[in-house]
Structure 1
């Protein structure tokens, strides 16, 4: 409770910051700056003013992202409270996301992410190729806290909505953007809208991203941390009448960037953090694609029926050299495959004083894969392979009622049923790599260490209630309580010899969150802001722990116990003059484990661990949350010079702050980001008088900060003291030319 009081005091400090002009990002525009109640979002599956939504949500338009030169959605973490977004360790395009301390770092097949990602209304079940580049996007919404009563798949930590543009042109129009920058960056994005008539239209976008590596594989001579991505999207829209709308959309991403092996943090180690000596191979390929069909029928003035049918699949082929040395001391070649089908039906209600959404959701998904754990010093390879089939069904609803013109109450609930069938196989071989990865001469070493298929079913009801009150037209307060749920599953790495209970799988986890928020505008609406405090109780938390075990690497996924997460968030924007806008964000998170039951695989025969087969010990005082800095914040500005010929030059400097954080729950001093750091960005953009031509120069990480975003820790002689870290991008400068026609 003391920490909650501390958060409340910080919220009071935020109110003081409001009165001195603390602020959030605004679009580059010659129009008056929009205030919070002018921004329309669909956070609750219906169009609403941002000020009226009793949810902590950040909305960023595509124009804002383009004006700042944002390359992909991970840059949202620089200005969004309580958000961590990174490319996964060893990956170029696999997304790792945390909101308010809740997330999932492990992208292995079978693990559900703690933060839901949506492309339009379609839930993306797997994080591979989910580091979405910024093109053909209308806006991105980040919703913080459990959102299960509103979304197709249960979202325990929050949701990120990537909303693409719909066709709104009266005549054909297009856009081309070309960029050149540091490390021989060459980007080309082209999009077009082709309205055939008032009822039918086609839109398409294509993007090509190329960049040399930030470093080099000194062993092979190939690029390291490079980029080679092709992405595209196409949609067909048909509105046969004012009451009917249909949209067929397809998207695809192909990432052929080289494998990202990271940097060895102990000797022998390259001097440059972007270099490696890895010998596992630089081949890497990630492909993902999807098709969706959306239909909307306005049945009457107060009810709309909506159907969303979607299919997605993907494949990954890659290598990670865990020891970062030429010899195969600890190498991991891997492949992942996944596919999903989902169907969602919604009824949207708008009855004047009451409105809401009710729906049913179904998903059938399969994720599978295999990888070798090669321990070359003892000529041993452990093959791990398997799959998990998920059948998910849910019924959900959320309704609001305006009791008075000022007071509104909302209530919602969700029933979820997930059935998961896991197949896990683990076998050791003598030889470098197994037959599954090209070594037909490998010799079986004993019987399978793990070989089972099991099915478990998980059901849960998760409610949510909220109330909001308007103190006039420009100030709204809200209070909410919600419960989130993520189903259990099976550890795809589980070794039944080292940990026999792995065949039983792990249980669901839940989060309950209480939130108090205030949104509004002051000083003749020149200042707009949103602030909130929250208190979350995290129960049966699913934690993945990997550790060296003799001549292999073992894994345990268990419900380690419980934790408390409390914090405060603030976003604001202050229009100093019609041409000059300041913006800022700040968040504080106090996340602590109340209980952390760690598995001790080979404990001594004593009172702490009375058996030789392992036991669980509460080590909560020696564990901390991963990827959750205590403080994050940002400050920036937009200044527009209006030229005599009608054109405009905009200057957008910004600085973001991120406190120290751990890569794992267990401290790893050589891998953790022990120091807080600042990131400084700046953009200068010229726009022609007719808004058809733009030219911008964008600088990122101008102080050339070196900061860690991931790592692997497998110390020991047999694993080559594998301690490798992955780093964020260095300083880059990019020039961009855009043409509308």
Structure 2
């Protein structure tokens, strides 16, 4: 019996391994409708299981791709342009295919974040935003967090100026509900917390954002969405440098390079940013603020190898930043402001490293594997302990393997992932007041099917997640004693379903319907574990649905998108101080909340020289009753809105290009939010943080073929506002600089 089954399996394996070794070369040019070459366009050759090869066009619009013999789909991704995909058959000989693209409001994109294998933007029903390098450069952005303000439904809140703690709130979710990746490497601390203030932009090809729960793909922490930074490597050789300086004693300098050498693709760069921050007087006491400075240094190196069957890639990314922490020196509703903190300071050192391999058995079958390390070490110097900085850190090892197969018209992916986390802090102590770590292991098994035929595209996936927390020694703290915790295991299954249907399909006008359903989870964080007496804390959960319609007009020059979403958050962890009838622990999974709303975006590109984009979000959030009692966590009542979630927010961008000059105008608006006393928290009262409107504008001029000068004004109207109550944002500032580029 065993032998009878083994022989067919062996035959199947030999057939897969006997893929032809011959390779072919595909060349051509990419031009716009008026015949001009399109440079720096991304050209992707896809098999049924995903991209096989990719490159970028040079200054003349030319591209070159090497791939094994087979049938493929060729796609061109160029910011501001769109063109139909092309079917290509390679048979060992050199082939040529010239491609024409037309002006469009949104380019077709091949994204790596919305599925277990890369998918196209039009081939998924996910709520997806892709921010391309061309757009990011045109708006003269200096950090990734500034770019994320153009993602509808993702509220970005910064507690002050550059480098201040910055949180992401996805569709009414919590600030630890967004998973952040760089080339697949997880950057979040244990429990999902992440400070987005220190994400550079200089080395990126694009930013991909998927809204809605993605735990079926990524497991814990992907409760409300995923942000992925995709680094730039390969393509024709290019190098560049930038220097800029301006208000608040701010300057920034960077240098980057990328290219292809034979079968190797490479890229890298380094950046340094420094700012004095706000050095004026605090509104409450008139004291001079002298501890708002910020310095950040980042470096990255990436390398890839593209063989006939084997694809390899590696990334090393390191960063170091330091910032003063002057505290809340703005709004002070209870008149409790204690003065400017001139001592407190936070220092962070980060390292992200990863390697991945893809072995193509045949165009319809491949094996993938990846390994990564993310490490963060921080010290915090407090006004209360000026001579003894408090240390903390988080380290995550991850290994992942999967198998892709195209079968019966469906692209299938199945695999598993192993993660090991360790969180440390001077505040995590044992019986002898010694520092002890919080350790956790996560094991996930996942599968997904992707079907696309005609106007219909379907994605369905499932992930089983097993989270094991190691035993934890107790402590005898007077304020928060913890009994010893035995090791605990939690298992969760998260499904996901996505559908897209092109109701009307044409090159000039279309109407696409899409929808999603999914669940998400966030396992308890290290601080939640270390400071509870509850050994049975469970993951927080969400159930989410969204549905929308996208319509395109005038050959794709005008695109309008509207989405309705509803998120139900269950088992939220709150501190309850043993409220009778609710729980016997200090903290427990008893809180619940609801968020629902509508996102609308408009993209309009009437000519190749002008792009107009805007977005608006209207949402309603509500605190629901605790499990077991018809009350909400103190000091809230049932029906209160969630803190720091605006009911209404929007943005608009206009980008103009004419010959050697270009310019942009950006408008951001946010309505009122509910927030807490900046000094003593929610128990000292809930207050209204007024909404605001800000305007940014800038222009650039290419004085020589390789030299560009530019300038921008941020907060042009000098608006006084606070994204987080009590922490003033910076006033009007001006930055000017020069950019130098080289390529061949």
Q: TM-score, normalised by structure 2?
A: 0.75
Q: Is the 8 A contact 2:219 2:521 kept in 1?
A: no
Aligned to 2:358: 296
Offset, 1:265: 4.4
Structure 1, unpaired ranges of 5+ = 1-25, 105-112, 322-327, 374-381, 429-445, 496-500, 548-554, 600-607, 610-614, 643-647, 712-724
Partner SS, residue 64 of structure 1: helix
Partner SS, residue 484 of structure 2: strand
Partner SS, residue 168 of structure 1: coil
Aligned to 1:594: 624
**In structure 1, distance between residues paired with 2:104 and 2:124:** 17
**In structure 1, distance between residues paired with 2:333 and 2:303:** 56
Aligned to 1:511: 542
Q: Is the 8 A contact 1:73 1:133 kept in 2?
A: yes
User: Is 1:53 equivalent to 2:116 in the alignment?
Assistant: no
Aligned to 2:644: 627
Aligned to 1:528: 559
User: Is 1:247 equivalent to 2:313 in the alignment?
Assistant: yes
Residues 155-174 of structure 1 aligned to structure 2 (within 5 Å)? 155-169=222-236, 171=237, 173-174=238-239
User: Any idea what the Cα deviations from partners look like across 1:78-133, whole Å, max 9, x if unmatched?
Assistant: 322111234568993655221011123xxxxxxxx311001011112325664301
**In structure 2, distance between residues paired with 1:525 and 1:98:** 31
Check 1:187–1:350 CA distance in 2 against 1; reply closer, same or farther (3 A cut).
Answer: farther
Q: Is the 8 A contact 1:333 1:371 kept in 2?
A: no
**In structure 2, distance between residues paired with 1:514 and 1:267:** 39
The equivalent position to 1:698 in structure 2, one of 696, 700, 712, is: 712
Aligned to 1:538: 569
**In structure 1, distance between residues paired with 2:627 and 2:722:** 27
Aligned to 1:654: 666
Offset, 1:387: 3.1
Check 1:261–1:454 CA distance in 2 against 1; reply closer, same or farther (3 A cut).
Answer: farther
**In structure 1, distance between residues paired with 2:180 and 2:640:** 28
Residues 342-351 or 136-145, more deviating: 342-351
User: Is 1:456 equivalent to 2:456 in the alignment?
Assistant: no
**In structure 2, distance between residues paired with 1:526 and 1:460:** 44
**In structure 2, distance between residues paired with 1:478 and 1:386:** 48
Check 1:598–1:243 CA distance in 2 against 1; reply closer, same or farther (3 A cut).
Answer: same
Aligned to 2:71: none
Q: Larger relative CO (CA 8 A, sep 6+): 1 or 2?
A: 1
Offset, 1:320: 4.8
Aligned to 1:417: 466
**In structure 2, distance between residues paired with 1:146 and 1:516:** 14
Aligned to 2:737: 736
Residues 133-282 of structure 1 aligned to structure 2 (within 5 Å)? 133-151=200-218, 153=220, 155-169=222-236, 171=237, 173-193=238-258, 195=260, 197-215=261-279, 223-239=290-306, 241-263=307-329, 265-266=331-332, 277-278=340-341, 281-282=343-344
Partner SS, residue 149 of structure 1: helix
**In structure 2, distance between residues paired with 1:64 and 1:384:** 50
Aligned to 1:116: 179
Q: Is the 8 A contact 2:188 2:194 kept in 1?
A: no
Q: TM-score, normalised by structure 1?
A: 0.76
Q: Is the 8 A contact 2:649 2:671 kept in 1?
A: yes
User: Is 1:309 equivalent to 2:321 in the alignment?
Assistant: no
User: Any idea what the Cα deviations from partners look like across 1:460-494, whole Å, max 9, x if unmatched?
Assistant: 11111232211214332112211112224665586
Aligned to 1:337: 393
User: Is 1:396 equivalent to 2:439 in the alignment?
Assistant: no
Aligned to 1:602: none
Check 1:544–1:307 CA distance in 2 against 1; reply closer, same or farther (3 A cut).
Answer: farther
Q: Is the 8 A contact 1:697 1:733 kept in 2?
A: yes
**In structure 2, distance between residues paired with 1:686 and 1:353:** 50
Aligned to 1:376: none
Size of the aligned set, in residue pairs, is: 624
